Amino acid sequence: MSKEVENLWKSEDYWAIWFSVLLFGGIFAGLISQVAKIGKWVGNPLTALSGQYLGLALLCAGLGVLFTAGVAIMKGDWKGFLGGYLVVFVLSVIAFVIAGQKSLKAWGLGYALWALGFGLIVANTVGTPKWLLRGARSEMFIKTGLVLLGAEILFSKILQLGLPGLIVAWVVTPTVIVFMWYFGTRGLKIQSKTFTIIVAAATSVCGVSAAIAVAAACRAKKQELTLAVGMTMIFTVLMMVAMPALAKFVGMDPQVAGAWLGGTIDSTGAVVAAGALLGEHAEKVAAVVKMIQNVLIGVVAFAVAVFWVTRVDRDPDAPRPSLLEIWYRFPKFILGFAGMSLVFSFLLIPTLGGDDVSAALDLSKHLRGWLFCLAFVSIGLESNFRDLWSQLVGGKPIILYIVGQSFNIVLTLLVAWLAFGGVLFERVYK
């Protein structure tokens, strides 16, 4: 038990919670009133940074002090961390700047792709020096970002959005995860169970953010997350274009089509873009279904963490682990993730009011974006193309994604028709 108490200030899992609590404390105390945002640009990338230099310096310094203090208390090499962190931050700024280009924004090629790409470029050309790796603490950034993300999952609002959306999002999603899990592990016999569950979560919940959450929950290898994120982003762009075109071609009801797009396309931005091609009703239905599906990210991450501790990581010959054993092995940041969601949904919104909470979340979501960007740069710096290629040999990951996504597309179409086609419920828009 004393080891567990010591973990409160020695493990990254707990520190992810403390960092997030400190950041929210700063926001609610008014110490953090702005977070640097990289703007859009067309021809000159420097215009994206216009007026942001001071904000970026403060952000870099603020996060640097916070994380360096955490690393020092965890008895890590804080001086080494600080040196590497500064370069990781600069690479993150570059990734955000590139993602702000007008055309890349329209194609949905966001910071995650560029951050991973720049990290990979450095790692696979000049190689990542050891001093830089000390600052690339991807798990610390990811876990803290995820706990902040938990606050954005507002059950109280989402649950008001009605039964049709809940049915599309909450019936199909677990079904697809289970299907892909069995197809990947038993059908394709993919060796890595962590990779299978990451791809299943990314396909069925909300793409990159679900992949990050589940990868952290089951302690997947970084290369597996890189591969899953890369595949998800490429297929998301294709689906954003092809699915509305198909819906239009077959003359699909816009509301059914909206629910279909919302339930299948991985990332939220691409869902809105695809729905917008089919009109206002389709856009709104698509966005709402996706929002409801987004809520599942915490539930799925929690369930995967429990499943991993009790089933996958367990020695089959060993007796069933006790509750205490499960507690020791459970990734604690998941509790912070779920706890933030519950506190914001059922405590802060009723007491502080929606406006104050929205203002706080507007800041935290930018902080979370920066943390994910730092994490993706770090993951890229720690990965190499040879490992990624070895994962792709045989094409099993792509088969898993395509078969799983096809199953998702067919099942979601059926449920979308039942829920939004006037079969089970009155139509949302008359």
Binding another protein (rule: CB under 8 A), the pick from 23, 60, 169, 291 is 291
* Assigned token pair, 65: 């002090």
Binding another protein (rule: CB under 8 A), the pick from 140, 142, 277, 349 is 277
Closest CA to 210 of 117, 307, 296: 296
Least Å distance, CB 118 to another protein, is 8
Residue closer to another protein (CB basis): 192 or 226:
226
Residues 89-128 interacting with another protein (rule: CB under 8 A): 98-99, 101-112, 117, 121-122, 125-127
Do residues 55 and 348 lie in contact, with contact meaning Cβ atoms separated by under 8 Å? Answer: no
For residues 367-401, b (16+ Cβ closer than 10 Å) or e, as one string? Answer: bbbbbbbbbbbbbbbbbeeeebeebeeeebbeebb
Residues 323-352 interacting with another protein (rule: CB under 8 A): none
Give the alpha-carbon dihedral of 300, 305, 309, 313, to 10 degrees: 90
| Terminal-to-terminal C-alpha distance of the chain | 60
Which of the stretches 67-75, 129-137, 154-162, 314-322 binds another protein when contact is defined by CB under 8 A? Answer: 154-162
Least Å distance, CB 20 to another protein, is 15
Residues 358-387 interacting with another protein (rule: CB under 8 A): 358, 361, 365, 369, 372
Binding another protein (rule: CB under 8 A), the pick from 70, 244, 397, 404 is 244
Residues 251-270 interacting with another protein (rule: CB under 8 A): 267-270
Per-position x/- string for 32-61, each x denoting binding to another protein as judged by CB under 8 A, each - no binding: ----------xx------------------
Q: At which residue do the structure tokens 């020092």 appear?
A: 72
Can you give 145-201 as a three-state secondary structure string?
HHHHHHHHCCHHHHHHHCHHHHHHHHHHHHHHHHHHHHHHHHHCCCCCHHHHHHHHH
Q: Counting contacts by CB under 8 A, is residue 424 touching another protein?
A: yes
Q: Counting contacts by CB under 8 A, is residue 288 touching another protein?
A: yes
Contacts for 333 with CB less than 8 Å, ≥ 6 apart: 12, 13, 14, 16, 17, 143, 146, 147, 216
Q: At which residue do the structure tokens 């500064």 appear?
A: 86
Q: Counting contacts by CB under 8 A, is residue 65 touching another protein?
A: no
Give the alpha-carbon dihedral of 21, 26, 29, 34, to 10 degrees: -130
Which of the stretches 175-183, 311-319, 332-340, 357-365 binds another protein when contact is defined by CB under 8 A? Answer: 357-365
Q: Counting contacts by CB under 8 A, is residue 234 touching another protein?
A: no
Least Å distance, CB 103 to another protein, is 4
Least Å distance, CB 427 to another protein, is 9
Neighbouring CB atoms inside 10 A of 50's CB total 11
Least Å distance, CB 11 to another protein, is 26
Where helices occur in 308-353 by DSSP H, the ranges are: 323-329, 333-343, 349-352
Least Å distance, CB 45 to another protein, is 9
Residue closer to another protein (CB basis): 178 or 423:
423
Least Å distance, CB 258 to another protein, is 9
Residue closer to another protein (CB basis): 112 or 309:
112
Q: At which residue do the structure tokens 């929002």 appear?
A: 291
Residue closer to another protein (CB basis): 16 or 247:
247
Closest CA to 129 of 94, 68, 87: 87
- Which positions touch another protein (CB under 8 A)? 42-43, 98-99, 101-112, 117, 121-122, 125-127, 149, 152, 157, 160-165, 206-209, 240-242, 244-245, 267-270, 272-274, 276-277, 281, 284-285, 287-288, 290-291, 294, 358, 361, 365, 369, 372, 422-426, 428-429
